[in-house]
Amino acid sequence: MKKRDEAPLRPKMTDPDVELMLAFKNGDEESFVKLYEKYRNRIVHFTRRFLQDPAQNEEAAQDVFLKLYKSRTQYKPTARFSTFLFRIATNHCLNIQARHDTKLVDRNQELDERHDVHPTANSTPETEAQTSELRTTLNKMLFGLPENQRAALVLCHYEGMSYKEASIALELTESAVKSLIHRAREKLSHQLKLLKQREVVGHAMQ
């Protein structure tokens, strides 16, 4: 009689992407193509928030999927597939940062469509310019955060991961992720207050 604890580990949630990865692990190359097509744009947008050179972004994204391809034999469905994939992406981007000591600067890159700000029917050239300037400022502030704070904030805020999922991707505890995000938000809030104060002083001097 098989003991209960000898049952194979499977994720409790229903995740079709896990099934695709398991199929790929068993030799179905088409399943990998489906995963690539589904997540490529998200991974490219993710790398843009870490790396300066657009060509490097594309290369980094390709490397993430290459690492995913090579990891198929060791894959175990212990979490959502997206969590597993973004753990690979996060580690790869942080390794690039450490290896090349990349200095992040604003390239005025657009956020992905889920978070971009589009003109409305009531938009004017002035309001659109203000929106663009605000987006550029926020990007600079995001790029200026310490790497671990930026990684936690991007995963939870932009990628919509829970603290638990981000903790798995970053290989940290949930409390550590919460602390990183709290510190990141405090720093961003402080910088925004300073920016607002400078704007008030600037207007007063005009």
- Residue 108 pLDDT > 80, yes or no? no
Spatial neighbors of 177 by CB under 8 A, at least 6 apart, are: 152, 156, 163, 166, 167, 170
**pLDDT tens string 141-156:** 777 888 889 899 989 9
DSSP class of residue 109? P
Comparing CA positions, the residue from 145, 114, 142 lying closest to residue 41 is: 114
Whole-number pLDDT of residue 86:
95
Helix (H, G, I), strand (E, B) or coil at 69: helix
Q: Choose between 102 and 124: higher pLDDT.
A: 124
Whole-number pLDDT of residue 28:
96
Alpha carbon distances (Å) from 155 to 1, 85, 148:
44, 12, 11
Whether 10-105 and 134-206 share one fold: the answer is no
**pLDDT tens string 48-106:** 887 766 778 889 999 999 999 999 999 999 999 999 999 999 999 888 876 654 343 33
CATH 3.40.50.150 fits 10-105, yes or no: no
Whole-number pLDDT of residue 122:
55
Comparing CA positions, the residue from 173, 156, 30, 178 lying closest to residue 82 is: 156
- Residue 201 pLDDT > 50, yes or no? no
CATH 3.40.50.150 fits 134-206, yes or no: no
Domain boundaries, the chain: 10-105, 134-206
**pLDDT tens string 6-35:** 444 444 457 999 999 999 999 999 999 999
